[in-house]
Amino acid sequence: MNLQSIKQRFGIIGRSQKLDQALDKALRVAGTEMTVLITGESGVGKEVFSRIIHSLSPRKHNNFIAVNTGAIPSGTINSELFGHKKGAFTGATTDRKGYFETVDGGTIFLDEIGEMPIDTQAYLLRILESGEYIPVGESKARKTDVRVIAATNVALEQNIQSGKFREDLYYRLNTINIQVPALRERPEDIYMLFRKFAVDFAEKYRSEAIHLEERARQILEQYTWPGNVRELKNVAEQVSVLAEDRLVDAEQLIQIVPSLLNRNLPILHSSKNGSGTTGNDFQEREILYKLLFDMKNDLTDLKSLIFELIKDNNLRVNDFPSVHSLLSSPSHNAPQSADKNIVQKERRIDDFTFSKPDYPPRNREPFASPQPIIIQSDGNEGNFAETEDLEEELSLIEMEKRFIKKALVKHHGKRKDAAEELGISERTLYRKIKEYDLADKF
């Protein structure tokens, strides 16, 4: 059986390489009797892998049971797994078979194995080594033939170091390890899964399935999904219920599920009406980020140009040793080298005061070999100040307006292409054009 048929049979959606590797390992180990440890974060679908292994194994016609060991109280877990005799403890009014007896010949899936109590781990180790167990309150050992598949979302190695998990049991369980990838590790599968959940929801409630615009789709793929597939299904159902249109854009998506913006990136918070970040704020922030990155590149080029002018034209600057070493450095032969030196010195361009050249030089050593001075004094020094301060335009509104103009000019007034270039929706671009009174100009 190939991977594609397995995916179709068990309803697995995805084409990522990591997912295929995990499925391939499950397919290879299914026909053996080896113990399997499935690791992965909560919500990635570890139980599905255990069912795949059982369904493709020689035990497929026998019982399968999934037990969440972390959900069973420590006082009753031994009874649940191994059974008990009548009168073994208060409340034990009859004999009870445990899971290892009821699924004899089949497969038992022990989820959250890292939460199992230490004394129960000793019972489980004995079953894995010899197939024997002793019900609570009984003195005679019994035999069982059960294949164990365990799963955990915690690092068992750390539990071993802290004394919460037996090292010998770990090596017994970890004969074959299958690592199920987290959803953030398979971004190419996110929208496929979203569409599957949206279609399933629409079929269940006899409605039209929702679709996402490209920018909304990107937001889904950039989110970290700490709850993995389970969280994605929850989001798909929320949007299916609350979206006004069947084609959902980025603004609507953020309004319905604002937590999708929770990423490890610098963000600006809106305090408008105390409601936090809104969809419009998000779109405007995208424009601002793009503008600031372009401004940074322009500033880097300007630094390189100025320092090349100082060196090549033998211009005078105040006697800062750091400037002397920078301009005389052999590595300062290209703009990129100049910028690298500037970063290493951790100095800004406005840390230096540039003065008018004095010619001839007044007993100063030149920074480099003498070259023709193209900027000379004409004897009218009194008409000029020693320095000139240039006021920089700091208005975000003006910068945003200028940026929108550039995009519209570049694309000859085609608003769809301009919106794509700016990374915003056409709706937001139309609103900005109207707000800045640009409609008649393009």
Q: 36 and 175 in one domain?
A: yes
Statement: residue 249 has pLDDT above 80: yes
Q: 114 and 93 in one domain?
A: yes
Statement: residue 330 has pLDDT above 60: no
> What CATH number did the domain enclosing 158 receive?
3.40.50.300
pLDDT at 339: 46
Contacting residues for 74 by C-beta, under 8 A, at least 6 apart: 117, 120
Statement: residue 68 has pLDDT above 70: yes
Q: 189 and 169 in one domain?
A: no
Q: 240 and 347 in one domain?
A: no
pLDDT at 283: 59
pLDDT at 291: 74
- Is residue 263 very low, low, confident or very high in pLDDT (cuts 50, 70, 90)? low
Least confident of 43-47, 102-106, 364-368, 397-401: 364-368
Q: 163 and 70 in one domain?
A: yes
- Return contacts of 363-371, CB within 8 angstroms, 24+ apart: 364/316, 366/314, 367/310, 367/311, 367/314, 367/324, 367/327, 367/328, 368/311, 368/314, 368/327, 368/328, 370/314, 371/312, 371/313, 371/314
> What CATH number did the domain enclosing 413 receive?
1.10.10
Q: How far apart are CA 376 and CA 45, in angstroms?
A: 75
Q: How far apart are CA 292 and CA 270, in angstroms?
A: 19
- Is residue 408 very low, low, confident or very high in pLDDT (cuts 50, 70, 90)? confident
User: Does residue 163 sit within a domain?
Assistant: yes
- Name the more confident of 369 and 97: 97
Q: Which residue has the tokens 């369904």?
A: 55
Residue 401 CA, distance from chain mean position: 32
Total length of the chain: 442
pLDDT at 353: 41
> What CATH number did the domain enclosing 197 receive?
1.10.8.60
- Is residue 375 very low, low, confident or very high in pLDDT (cuts 50, 70, 90)? very low
Q: 291 and 352 in one domain?
A: yes
- Is residue 336 very low, low, confident or very high in pLDDT (cuts 50, 70, 90)? very low
Q: How far apart are CA 66 and CA 318, in angstroms?
A: 77
Per the structure, the complete domain to which residue 260 belongs is given by: 185-265
- Is residue 316 very low, low, confident or very high in pLDDT (cuts 50, 70, 90)? low
Rounded mean pLDDT, 124-138 = 93
Rounded mean pLDDT, 278-284 = 56
- Name the more confident of 366 and 417: 417
- Is residue 55 very low, low, confident or very high in pLDDT (cuts 50, 70, 90)? very high
User: Does residue 88 sit within a domain?
Assistant: yes
Q: How far apart are CA 99 and CA 64, in angstroms?
A: 10
pLDDT at 285: 67
**Of 70, 142, 59, 139, residue with least CA distance to 103:** 59
Q: Would you say 98 and 135 are in contact if contact means Cβ atoms under 8 Å apart?
A: yes
pLDDT at 14: 92
- Is residue 170 very low, low, confident or very high in pLDDT (cuts 50, 70, 90)? very high
Q: 220 and 110 in one domain?
A: no
- Return contacts of 370-377, CB within 8 angstroms, 24+ apart: 370/314, 371/312, 371/313, 371/314, 373/313, 373/314, 373/315, 374/313, 375/313, 375/315
Rounded mean pLDDT, 411-418 = 83
- Name the more confident of 24 and 314: 24
Q: How far apart are CA 354 and CA 318, in angstroms?
A: 7
Assessment of whether the complete model's pTM goes beyond 0.85? no
- Is residue 256 very low, low, confident or very high in pLDDT (cuts 50, 70, 90)? very high
Of 147, 181, 215, the one marking the end of a domain is 181
Rounded mean pLDDT, 13-20 = 93
Contacting residues for 56 by C-beta, under 8 A, at least 6 apart: 1, 26, 27, 30, 31
Rounded mean pLDDT, 167-176 = 94
Statement: residue 79 has pLDDT above 70: yes
pLDDT at 284: 65
pLDDT at 318: 55
Statement: residue 320 has pLDDT above 70: no
Measured CA to CA in angstroms, residue 192 lies from 15, 187, 199, 262, 377 at distances of: 9, 10, 11, 22, 70
Q: Which residue has the tokens 């700490």?
A: 226
User: Does residue 271 sit within a domain?
Assistant: no
CA angle 116/117/120 to nearest 5° reads 90
User: Does residue 117 sit within a domain?
Assistant: yes
Statement: residue 370 has pLDDT above 70: no
Contacting residues for 102 by C-beta, under 8 A, at least 6 apart: 63, 65
Q: Total domain count for the chain?
A: 4
Of 132, 153, 181, the one marking the end of a domain is 181
Statement: residue 345 has pLDDT above 80: no
